[in-house]
Amino acid sequence: MQNKITHCLQNADAQTVAELRGATEEELYDRFYKNIDFGTGGMRGLIGAGTNRINRYTVAKATAGYAEYIRCHGAQKRGVAIAYDNRRCSRLFAEITAGVLAAQGIKSYLFEDLRTTPELSFAVRHLGAFGGVVITASHNPPEYNGYKLYDETGCQMVPSLIAPIIQNINKIEDELAIPVLSLSEAGELIEVIGDEIDRPYYKKVLSLSFDPGVPKQIKVVYSPQHGTGNIPVRHVLKAAGFDVIPVESQCHPDPEFLNTRNPNPEAPEAFEAAIECMTQTGADLAITTDPDCDRLGVAVRHKDQFRLLSGNQSGAILFYYILNRRKEQKTLPNNGVMFTTVVTSSLGDKIAADFGVAVEKTLTGFKFIGDKIRQHELATEGKPFLFGYEESYGCLIGDFVRDKDAVQASLMLCDAADYYKKQSKTLVDVLDEIYGKYGVFTDHLTSVTLTGESGAKQIAKILADLRANPVDQIAGLKIREIVDFQNPPEGFPAANVLLYNFENGSFVAVRPSGTEPKCKFYYCVCGEGLDGLRAYFEGVCR
């Protein structure tokens, strides 16, 4: 480790050297005790100097490994689309990514300014590019950034595709010596893109509406949480005829997220400013998207109160709305399929069964849903895609994107709210209607944060202890089966996930986060009525 520190102090840029010279011994250890993980979801980590941080050199190293993969496939001319969000160093990392590719003779399409993750996915497909890179740490705190890779279908790379890239990255010994061309040096190898991608993307999103041109009755508050959603979400909603009230203090792309307590739509505090705006304006709905605009959070005015919907709830409402509208308009295929994950509420399964829609499960991560869409496209008897969603506030409606898309979700959710308002219903009324038909479902997520090397070991120990000491009941509730995805069922890749299925269809799942130093515990509990459900849920979570 000391050799790495010395090499960096002797050869890195002045800013990096100054940062390292100001670090304590403990900080230096954490910065260099390992190389930053490049896993099946790419890289995500703290911004800073060191091999265990995301910085200009670790980004260059990742891109050099990716460049070798592109060259091996002879895809230099097809090129790579590159997008980035509002975070610290995002533009720098995007330019370095393009510069490393250019030094290897590989074409890239670099967005002129901030763009959402779903638009990056669209751009890959629209341009016929070989792949894509997006610089983002999604909903993480401001001290984080990240790097995600996409395949030629616009889907995040699945493990089988990313494995050779990781091998290439691990072979690189000196990330400080990787050649990087500037934009001026690269010439035509770096093409700047913008409105020529925005316009067809917006057109595709707007085509999803069931009621184009119909006057809207609802008033919508929107916050992009200082992120990339500000322009596309507001553009699409206004083009669709909605009265959109922006949370002005959270619209500018601030890398410090100064005017929000939390940029994650999963967190109630992310809605504080939006709900204040709802109170002042009498709006029916507040929506918020995370910084890279792939997740959507929703607050609903219901009986003069504000109700936050979970990702499972908003996903179920959207799915129910889409199926009903397609049935109403006679566009519902008789062999459609919905994709969801093993930690997402089984309420969607019940809705699908009622409409004759097949359900296929994947591991956590929207790349697996995107890959399922591809598999069905290629299959002789593939099923048409209807919807995909996961509990972490992400969904996909139109498959011209292959990642979760909060621009699409924003439009469809507002469409649904307006449609039901004309029937004197709120989205909470619709959720109650769904519960009345399919049973009452509730969900809960508990995350245990354990940082650093010792934290990673503790998380590994939690999963190891659960495997070594299997249980047949929790709080007196009998477990029907335990599914260990280290020895996965057919059709699933191996993963460090444990799933406990109860006899009534409820479940508990445990997995380490792929993007944060957390161990996550997911609870999905279902029952016939609220009283029985409450007792059951309290027992499982005890």
Sheet holding 394-396, edge to edge: 358-362, 337-341, 385-390, 394-396
Strand locations in 343-408, DSSP E? 358-362, 385-390, 394-396
**Cα–Cα distance measured from residue 536 to residue 464, given in angstroms and rounded to the nearest whole number:** 27
Rounded distance between C-alpha atoms, residue 228 and residue 90, angstroms: 12
DSSP strand pairing (144-150 vs 131-135): antiparallel
- Give the sheet arrangement for strand 507-512, strand by strand: 440-449, 518-527, 507-512, 498-502, 477-484, 473-474
3-state secondary structure of 18: helix
Q: Which residue's structure tokens are 């029952």?
A: 527
SS (H, E, C) 25-65: HHHHHHHHCCCCCCECCEEEEEECCCCCCECHHHHHHHHHH
Nearest to 402 by CA among 435, 428, 426, 367: 367
CA distance 133 to 136: 10
155 contacts 370 by C-beta, under 8 angstroms: yes
Distances (CA, A) of 259 to 113, 150, 282, 384: 22, 31, 22, 42
Distances (CA, A) of 336 to 360, 374, 391: 11, 14, 21
Active site residue ranges: 138
Beta bridge partners of 298: 287, 309
In whole angstroms, give the CA distance from residue 181 to residue 187.
Answer: 9
C-alpha 501, offset from chain centre:
25
Token digits of residue 538: 């309290």
- How far, in Å, CA of 264 to CA of 295, rounded? 8
Amino acid occupying residue 522: Y
